[in-house]
Amino acid sequence: MIEIQLWWLIILPVFFGLGWLAARIDIKHVLAETRSLPAQYFQGLNHLLNGDTNRAVEVYVDIAKLHAETSELQFTLGHLFRRRGELERAIRMHQRLLDRKDLSDNHRQQATLELAIDFMKAGLYDRAEDLLHQLADTNFARQARRELLAIYQQEHEWKKAIELAQQLRDESHGYQHEIAHFHCELAAQAMLHARHEEVSRELEAALQANRQCARARVMLGEHALAQQQHEQAITEWGLIEKQDVLYLALVARHLLAAFDAVGKTAEGERYLQGLLQQHPDLDVLDVLYERILARSGAEAVSAFVRERLREHPTMPGLRKVLEAYLLQAPSEQQPDLEIIVRLIHEENRENTVYYCGECGFRTRQYFWHCPACNAWESYPPVRGQRRLGH
């Protein structure tokens, strides 16, 4: 034990000495690099840190004119131009870099990637795609493939997207989620042209890629309903309950129509009411309200929504209760109730739209693919529900 302690007394000072020497070398290197930078560089950096992008760009443009050899600075400028939406200037900056004879292979590949992204932002997908293919066997190959995948999605080249996503699969990102949706997109195209076998094949491929793909199950039910296979539609949509029951809200009206078609109207209504009791967030209150009102009248629908409000108090639920009261209220009370219902509706507009869980974009129509950030299945199927960072 004493020998071990003596060894540590000898070794520790040696380690401290080596660490001090390494730190001195790093500091000298940093100071040397700092002295080689023009003072304006730090002015531009200060503007960036303060969020003043416009002044930062002006400073860096001046530096680039005087120090054309500073490729890193030109990359920074190109990025800033693109960020500000000045795509023509970004394209010129990156093309100027590619024209340089002294550019290293790594920087040339980086400039090619940046120019491809510029073209993508400008909507010049063909030119971007050509450049990205040039990076196939370089250090930027994987990033180029990701950008290509974005292009294929923008251009609805779903077969190419599937093939590329399969190449990109790794331990950190399996792309099963995206591949399933690409197959669903192919199925949607086939539906438009009544290619029934192709629809079934693509949707089964979607479920093979991702067994929890609610969209594929939704579409299988829609496909069955379109062919008058009502029992099959009910079966397919019933399986959504095991995947994510909330997605049943997207097909609730069609589901009840399928139950109607096979003479099981009451069973269909009881099924949805039972799910609503078990899953209060299931967005089917409006559908059931309309159905019960049409079938059983104002008194029955009033009792139904009052019970739902007691079990799960929400503003949409309160609005439905007031709407039911309005149906039975004496004529002299109706104007006041109408004002209250309208005010509640106006104050709670956020409860009537869908929110993207990635970017927060809101819309009255449900999207499987966010039109703002291009995320797949990022909208919770419940109006008014926010789930940022999904």
Bind-site residues for Fe cation: 356, 359, 370, 373
What the block records as the tokens of 85 is 């939406």
Q: Is 343 exposed, middle or buried (0-12, 13-18, 19+ CB in 10 A)?
A: exposed
Beta-strand relationship, 354-355 and 362-363: antiparallel
Q: Are 55 and 47 in contact (CB under 8 A)?
A: yes
Phi, psi (rounded to 5 degrees) for 175? 60, 15
The strand pairing partners of 369, in sequence order, are 376
- The amino acid that residue 35 corresponds to is R
Query: SS3 for 369?
Result: strand
Burial 113-126 (b: 16+ CB within 10 A, else e): bbbbbbbbeeeebe
Q: Which residues contact 191 (CB under 8 A, 6 or more apart)?
A: 199, 219, 222, 223, 226
Location of structure tokens 């004496």 = 330
Distance of CA 360 to the CA centre of its chain: 9
The alpha carbon dihedral of 186, 191, 192, 195 has a sign of positive
Contacts of 92 (CB under 8 A, 6+ apart): none
Amino acid symbol at 36: S
All residues at 6 or more sequence positions from 178 whose CB lies less than 8 Å from its CB, including other chains = 149, 161, 165, 376
Annotated binding-site ranges:
356, 359, 370, 373
Amino acid at 119: F
